[in-house]
Amino acid sequence: MGRREEIHGTTILAVRRDGQVAIGGDGQVTLGQTALKHDANKIRRLGGGKVLCGFAGSAADAFALLDRFEAKLEEHKGNLKRAATQLAKDWRTDRILRRLESLMAVVDLETSLIVSGDGNVIEPTDGVIGIGSGGMYAAAAARALLKHSNLPAEDIVRESLLIAADICVYTNDHLTIEKL
């Protein structure tokens, strides 16, 4: 049997600074060695615009999870941590959901979380989240800019994603950035 081609090509970055949070993602979707799409939007506003979410992994799986996450936000009256924890629990234990291959970065004005299908809900100490193919490159650049510049969160996300696009072949410079 042939090797299954995997869809790659996501870099998501979230940064907090001075009471603001920004999240951004690139637009590339790659199947094997081919870039299929250059302008995908992998960032969504949820919870009446009070929550921002970025996703990495299978787009179809991510959309299914976004719908469930938004329902959890409504169920828990906008409580991001509780909604993320309940989604992770369902994701890990449900026979159908646990087959979904995606990773989510979710933020509101107070909290930044990584949510995964293995039941993890992680709140990074420094408020920087990098997920996807170029996530670690973007996160490293963001941490350097946080330490050595006075740029606002939105500009740090932009510059860091552009740095990741220069390094990671699965990341491009067509960016979508949202802030709270």
**Residue 10 is a catalytic residue:** yes
Question: CA 144: distance to chain centroid?
Answer: 20
| Closest CA relative to residue 106, chosen from 36, 147, 172, 45 | 45
Q: Considering 10, 11, 30, 176, which one is annotated as catalytic?
A: 10
pLDDT, residue 98, reads: 57
Q: Which residues of the chain have a pLDDT value below 50? A: 1-7
Q: What is the pTM of this model?
A: 0.90
CA distance 132 to 49: 23
| Second CATH level (architecture) for the domain 7-170 | 4-Layer Sandwich (3.60)
Q: Determine contact, residues 32/43, Cβ cutoff 8 Å.
A: no
Q: What is the pLDDT of residues 99-150, one digit of tens each?
A: 656 789 999 999 999 988 777 899 999 999 999 989 999 999 999 999 999 9
